[in-house]
Structure 1
Amino acid sequence: MLPLALVVDDEPDICKLITLTLQRMDVNCHTAASLAEATRLLKENHYDFCLTDLRLPDGDGLQLVEHIQSGVLRDLPIAVITAHGNMDTAIKALKLGAFDFVSKPVDLERLRNLAQLALRVNRERDPQQSKSAKQLLLGEAPNMRKLREQIAKVARSDAPVYISGESGSGKELAARSIHSQGARADKPFVPINCGAIPTDLMESEFFGHKKGSFTGAHKDKAGLLQSAQGGTLFLDEVADLPLDMQVKLLRTIQEKRIRAIGASQETPIDVRILSATHKDLAKEVTEGRFRNDLYYRINVIEISTPPLRERSEDIPLLVDAIMQRIAQNSGTIPPGISTDAMQALQAFPFPGNVRQLENILERAFTLCDHQEICLDDLLLEKDEQSQDREASSTSTKGEALNRNQSEENNRFDPSQYNSLDEFLQNIEKEAIESALTKTRWNRTAAAQKLGISFRSLRYRLKKLGLET
């Protein structure tokens, strides 16, 4: 049986154009010229997709969106047709629950992509895939249950989602869960750490470039946006984007088109935008570091990942899952964890959230000499001291910088070192060798003396050529 769509518009030519386009996609159509007629048809028929104009003789499309979202029809994907450039109304429709929007004059390729996605929203999914998507975010605390409910809801839309939350609280996992439960699940999920890309390479990385467009462009290169075609683009640490890239990204989101460096024409792009940052994005806007119009565009729907300290009852579940993964990667049996160690973990504030819990357990797994992790193996007091040092370092950063600049012995001398990296590596090497000498090459004790994890010390020894 062919899917059935409802097209609501009082312009016969628009209705005919959309109907012909959808029929070529093997989609049957009913049309309505008013809000009242659309409401009647919705009562009489079962539709797989609805597309409505915003301006109707007896109301507007936003009323129809609200009608569908507030009743038994809330699972029906509805998209709106907006006047060209009327982004404010389009965003309002998305906030009310519209699946997506298309601007006039209607781009047929854009219409076909939108219809395909909307029809895939209610398709039957592989139960195993759905189960895997829900397992990305473990936890039975009330705030985690709420988060999963929000994710299930926003996954049915194609609207941009902004994910807020502290570092290490699982923002990327939330983004992956939205993607996995949405209509784009079988397409790429492309994460970008906006703070990790050098500024001078950012435009090329995002949009790609043509051969010969600049020095070093020896061949055509597709950007990350093209890599996400049909799927989801996750902009992690979006607050770190420089202002000039924010302008380019805003245009891409609004026009759904990109132009590679050196290209003469724009090409259409079909991606869903998810973004996240640990910073207060509203404050970044107020202080002029983030564009208000881009913030308004990416923050159509906001969800927040709770910090670990606000769901301590989930820590035993997380500990079990993390230990299973660590043991599987090392090919061993996961050790148990003592009652006092578990109680200490549940009482710990975890400013680094789940990521910090993972690091603590990896360290304990490495140091543990028996089949049960005890309180002493966790070395939680070291983490607390590290946090105190970090806070102290932040508060005295300016003083330390001035003091170091006046100390001739610690200054970088270009005549002795080829680069600043070589100078810094030499300092790091001397500190590690000193710690190892004082502890008679006991690596565990040396790591504690240096205030780093055993795993981190092992990595540095290998990097600096000190591995024996």
Structure 2
Amino acid sequence: MTFRQKALIVDDEPDIRELLEITLGRLKLETRSARNVKEAHEWLGKETFDLCLTDMRLPDGTGLELVQFIQQRHPQTPVAMITAYGSLDTAINALKAGAFDFLTKPLDLGRLRELVATAMRMPSSDSINMPEDNRLLGGSPPMQTLRKQIFKLACSQAPVYISGESGSGKELVARLMHEQGPRKERPFVPVNCGAIPSELMESEFFGHKKGSFTGASEDKQGLFQAANGGTLFLDEVADLPLPMQVKLLRAIQEKAVRAVGGQQEVVVDVRILCATHKDLAAEVAEGNFRQDLFYRLNVIELRVPPLRERREDISLLAETVLQRLSESSGLPPAALAPEALEKLKSYRFPGNVRELENMLERAYTLCDDNRIDAEDLRLVDAHANKDPGEASLAQIDNLEDYLESIERKLIMQALEETRWNRTAAAERLGMSFRSLRYRLKKLEID
């Protein structure tokens, strides 16, 4: 039998070592075994490994120390920590230290095989380089740092909390993390948690069985099952109601889900990435978000910088957006006048890249002679904080209609800046989602 990939097993229990050796051997991995940290260091000094499995407690140290050592000396080797059942804190600390994933005792061989299969899809040490991607544009220091972080986190299975303002590109960051990692051939399933009615959430996430409730005319697969083997991206996770947060926490911890009306749990292998434009820690402090779920999701936080922190990227972003608009419309490309570019660079962009795209699309449509001048951007008209009291009574036929028109204009602007993400629009307007929903119904905005 020819072995092409190699694993290092570190455990002081002979039975565990033997079990792992047999299991990995059946998966066509050549194995080396160590009883302690010292022997592990010796093997790592002599050979290159495609995977390391280490127990947490070792006679002369800890698995955590070994994770840190491998991260520093052999970063191309993924390490999985073996912890005692229920030691969630230990597992999370291992992930924060750079562990690829973790297993709990007693070992679940099915889970072990899934972990090994994912690890073996990692890029080889001689092919590791940070890929270029024309979707994440910008050469500013914050963007260079972000690219490096994305690539590093793509090689882990740790849950990542992506923080950032509305419109800054959090879903794109999640998608790139998926595409650069070992799950890239498996599904990437994004879900906007703020867009699912609370009464349908459990069914949407976990699926349902035929006849489990009125309208359940057939079995339905949930989002967890749809993302099996891949990545589930929970956007606007702060909008999950508390009862659903409990069920989500259990699904993440148990790595299994039960469909509504189902009798048995189904094991799922899913990496969780989540994002919100809200301050999730503040939501925890206010009692709107469970601390234990926050702790489980926020193993590693990745911050996406707002556009105002990387103004040197605006020129490239604008050029790319205008080129894309030209290609999609079949019309000649438009040039951005120097004064217009300066206006953009000095603008605060509360809606970030998404607002820039919407602004340029509007200007591209309205400009003359394929040239976008400063006035075509309509920065003053769109964002001036005018006092309704400044209007002349001669211009107002009906006060209610006048105020309603202002309200409609601002709500439409917020919706356009957030690409009709109602949760983000409500936050942009400083109101609750419920209040925005009421106003949309009242103003008959679909």
TM-score range, shorter chain: 0.7 to 0.9
- The structure with more radius of gyration: 1
**Is it true that 1:95 corresponds to 2:96 in the alignment?**
yes
Candidates 49, 61, 64, aligned match of 1:59: 61
Q: CA deviation at 1:25?
A: 1.3
Candidates 49, 52, 56, aligned match of 2:51: 49
Q: Aligned equivalents of 1:237 and 1:283: distance in 2?
A: 14
Question: What corresponds to 2:6 in structure 1?
Answer: 4
Question: What corresponds to 1:406 in structure 2?
Answer: none
Q: CA deviation at 1:34?
A: 1.1
What are the superposed Cα offsets for residues 429-463 of structure 1, whole Å, 9 maximum, x if unpaired?
A: x979xxxxxxxxxxxxxx9999869x99xx9xxxx
Q: Secondary structure at the match of 2:189?
A: strand
Q: Matched residues, percent identical? A: 55
Q: 1:350 to 1:109 in 2, by over 3 A?
A: same
Q: Secondary structure at the match of 1:270?
A: coil
Q: Aligned equivalents of 1:90 and 1:449: distance in 2?
A: 47
Question: What corresponds to 1:84 in structure 2?
Answer: 85
Q: CA deviation at 1:125?
A: 11
Q: Aligned equivalents of 1:331 and 1:105: distance in 2?
A: 61
Equivalent residue letter for 1:27: L
**Is it true that 1:256 corresponds to 2:255 in the alignment?**
yes
Q: Secondary structure at the match of 1:273?
A: strand
CA contact (8 A) 2:256 2:265 kept: yes
What are the superposed Cα offsets for residues 375-400 of structure 1, whole Å, 9 maximum, x if unpaired?
A: 11111112222xx36xx89xxxxxxx
Q: 1:449 to 1:121 in 2, by over 3 A?
A: closer
Q: Secondary structure at the match of 2:136?
A: coil
Q: CA deviation at 1:183?
A: 0.7
Q: Aligned equivalents of 1:431 and 1:59: distance in 2?
A: 69
Q: Aligned equivalents of 1:320 and 1:125: distance in 2?
A: 35
Equivalent residue letter for 1:193: N
Q: CA deviation at 1:129?
A: 11
Q: 1:194 to 1:449 in 2, by over 3 A?
A: closer
Superposed, 1:357-376 pairs within 5 Å as 357-376=356-375
Q: 1:448 to 1:247 in 2, by over 3 A?
A: closer
Equivalent residue letter for 1:63: E
What are the superposed Cα offsets for residues 80-115 of structure 1, whole Å, 9 maximum, x if unpaired?
A: 011111100000000000000011111111101111
Q: Secondary structure at the match of 2:310?
A: helix
Q: Secondary structure at the match of 1:52?
A: strand
Q: CA deviation at 1:24?
A: 1.4
Q: 1:149 to 1:198 in 2, by over 3 A?
A: same
Q: 1:60 to 1:450 in 2, by over 3 A?
A: closer
Q: Aligned equivalents of 2:367 and 2:198: distance in 1?
A: 43
Q: CA deviation at 1:274?
A: 0.4
Q: 1:449 to 1:9 in 2, by over 3 A?
A: closer
Q: Secondary structure at the match of 2:106?
A: coil
Equivalent residue letter for 2:66: L
Q: Aligned equivalents of 1:368 and 1:283: distance in 2?
A: 43
**TM-score normalized with structure 1 length:** 0.82
CA contact (8 A) 2:339 2:374 kept: yes
Q: Secondary structure at the match of 1:177?
A: helix
Q: Aligned equivalents of 2:170 and 2:113: distance in 1?
A: 31
CA contact (8 A) 2:76 2:124 kept: no
RMSD of aligned Cα (Å): 2.9
Q: Aligned equivalents of 2:38 and 2:411: distance in 1?
A: 73
Q: Aligned equivalents of 1:450 and 1:63: distance in 2?
A: 53
Q: 1:187 to 1:450 in 2, by over 3 A?
A: closer
Q: Which runs of 4+ in 1 moved over 2 A?
A: 122-131, 447-453
Superposed, 1:141-156 pairs within 5 Å as 141-156=140-155
Equivalent residue letter for 2:119: A
Superposed, 1:16-415 pairs within 5 Å as 16-71=18-73, 73-123=74-124, 130-131=131-132, 134-385=133-384, 388=385
Q: CA deviation at 1:196?
A: 0.5
**TM-score normalized with structure 2 length:** 0.86
Equivalent residue letter for 2:161: Y
CA contact (8 A) 2:175 2:188 kept: yes
Q: Secondary structure at the match of 1:103?
A: strand
CA contact (8 A) 1:136 1:174 kept: no
Q: Aligned equivalents of 1:11 and 1:125: distance in 2?
A: 34
Q: 1:350 to 1:299 in 2, by over 3 A?
A: same
Q: 1:450 to 1:138 in 2, by over 3 A?
A: closer
CA contact (8 A) 1:233 1:274 kept: yes
Equivalent residue letter for 1:192: V
What are the superposed Cα offsets for residues 135-178 of structure 1, whole Å, 9 maximum, x if unpaired?
A: 22111111111111111111111100011011011111111111
Q: Aligned equivalents of 1:227 and 1:330: distance in 2?
A: 35
Q: Aligned equivalents of 1:203 and 1:97: distance in 2?
A: 32
CA contact (8 A) 2:206 2:258 kept: yes
CA contact (8 A) 1:129 1:180 kept: no
Q: 1:451 to 1:91 in 2, by over 3 A?
A: closer
Q: Aligned equivalents of 1:312 and 1:276: distance in 2?
A: 23
What are the superposed Cα offsets for residues 203-227 of structure 1, whole Å, 9 maximum, x if unpaired?
A: 0000000111111100000011111
Q: Aligned equivalents of 1:127 and 1:16: distance in 2?
A: 32
Equivalent residue letter for 1:66: Q
Aligned residues: 407
Q: Aligned equivalents of 1:108 and 1:6: distance in 2?
A: 17
Q: Aligned equivalents of 2:285 and 2:294: distance in 1?
A: 11
Q: Aligned equivalents of 2:38 and 2:383: distance in 1?
A: 64
Q: CA deviation at 1:126?
A: 9.8
Equivalent residue letter for 2:105: K
Question: What corresponds to 2:428 in structure 1?
Answer: none
Q: 1:75 to 1:282 in 2, by over 3 A?
A: same
Q: Which runs of 5+ in 2 are unaligned?
A: 389-398, 421-443
Q: Aligned equivalents of 1:147 and 1:212: distance in 2?
A: 47
Q: Aligned equivalents of 1:119 and 1:143: distance in 2?
A: 31
